[in-house]
Amino acid sequence: MTVLFLFFSLAIGWTAWNLYHPVYRYPLVATASFLTGWLVGELALHHIAWQLAVTALFAWGGAIHGFAGAIGLVTCVVSWLAMGYFYLTGERAAGTVQRALTEGLGEDYQDTIQDTFRAAFPSAIDRRHLQHPFKPVAPGVEVIKDVPFGHHDQRLDIYRPRRPLTSAPVLLQIHGGAWTEKMGDKNHQALPLMSHMAERGWVAVSIDYRLCPGATFPDHIIDCKEGLRWIKQHIASWGGDPDFVVVTGGSAGGHLCALLALSANDPEFQPGFEDLDTSVQGAVPFYGVYDLLDTHGHQHHGAQQELFERSLMKLPRSTNKEAYERASPLHRNLATAPPFFVIHGDKDTLVPVEEAREFVAALRAASQSPVSYAEIEGGQHAFDMFASLRSEHTKHGVERFLTWLYSGYLARRG
């Protein structure tokens, strides 16, 4: 039993070490590092609680004795302290997102937000969300599931407040999951953000789209445009304003979110509805893939290129540069981009943070619209999927960005 406890403590020690020193270089190890860092980093207090309970059982069974037991116990205590400290550093996200917004929108950006909206901004994190991270949808939010759209049996979900709505702003959510079946769907991603914005009087629409290996690009973005088409034509019946839509998404959804925002009215991506205006009023991509060509070699290994060539594009990258450029937000026409708020964690093991930095630099150099960028300290890939200090502060920053956009829209409309 003592040896078993020692191995248990060493496993805990590795998970704590991995929070600060994730593995980037080797695909399988990097994936394990991501999963562990994501779940432990954003749910550290929950992990400490169950690990304390297991340690107490070991102690009750007499397993913690002698030199090995002492080493194991010290390892556990040091690891818990490291996990707790890492979790608490999530508070720094509040300052990070605020600096990102003032840098991108101006020091006085909140002064241009309508008073009624600004008064509703939360003054602090709701600790109940931290206690129940797996209950992201608020009771006051109605969810309408699996509304059909498009021509390929696509489905979308609608999140809206349980009160009458008229011409409410719309948030279009595109899920991630490596563009691949069984790795992501519309039912589990961005729920805290969609629920929060629905409580604020928005209508959020989470769409699905055809996935690899059955789908091949540009099927994915065509389906996303089909979702936007449905919103433009039908969202008024659900209380939304078809003329004000902001798009968001994470990972593969971040790629599609940015690509949708940068390909307004591109006939290649909207066959059969080429004349529809597919512009959006803003974009908030989370930890997205912006350069499928990996022009500057930011990828840590070849797994992503293999995914592109085998599944997403089904074309060798070396001889199909133009096709990869058309699929890459970084290589689109950035001069006509709508306002962007790009968000990425600095501990992301799946999509290098350098790719986000490069995309933001290119946007700022070319775009005539505001560009904000928040690099979240300690943020792993998918860090926003459930409530933590880090994700809650980021969510509140996104709310301020979205509300700033909407206030400007209302002011222009008169």
Q: Among all residues, which ones are annotated catalytic?
A: 251, 348, 381
Residues 6+ apart with CB under 8 A from 140: 161, 162, 199
Residue type, 361: A
User: How many Å apart are CA 72 and CA 9, to the nearest integer?
Assistant: 5
Q: Are 345 and 353 in contact (CB under 8 A)?
A: yes
Kindly calculate the radius of gyration of the chain based on its CA atoms and give it in whole angstroms: 22
Residue 250's DSSP bridge partners are: 286
Residues 6+ apart with CB under 8 A from 103: 372, 373
Q: Are 373 and 104 in contact (CB under 8 A)?
A: yes
DSSP 293-355: T-TT---SSSHHHHHIIIIIS-S-GGG-HHHHHHT-GGGS-GGG---EEEEEETT-SSS-HHH
For 17, 28, 39, 40, 346, the CA distances from 32, given in Å and listed in that order, are 13, 6, 11, 12, 17
Query: 300 — phi, psi (to 5°)?
Result: -85, -15
Q: Is 291 helix (H, G, I), strand (E, B) or coil?
A: coil
User: How many Å apart are CA 97 and CA 195, to the nearest integer?
Assistant: 20
Exposure class string for 149-173: b at 16+ Cβ within 10 A, else e: bbeeebbbbbbbbeeebeebbbbbb
User: Which residue, among 190, 75, 195, has the nearest Cα to 140 in the 3D structure?
Assistant: 195
Paired tokens of 256: 């599609």
Question: Other CB atoms closer than 10 Å to residue 339's CB: what's the count?
Answer: 22
Helix, strand, coil content of the chain in percent (nearest 5) = 50, 15, 35
- The whole-angstrom distance between residue 220's C-alpha and the CA centroid of its chain comes to 18
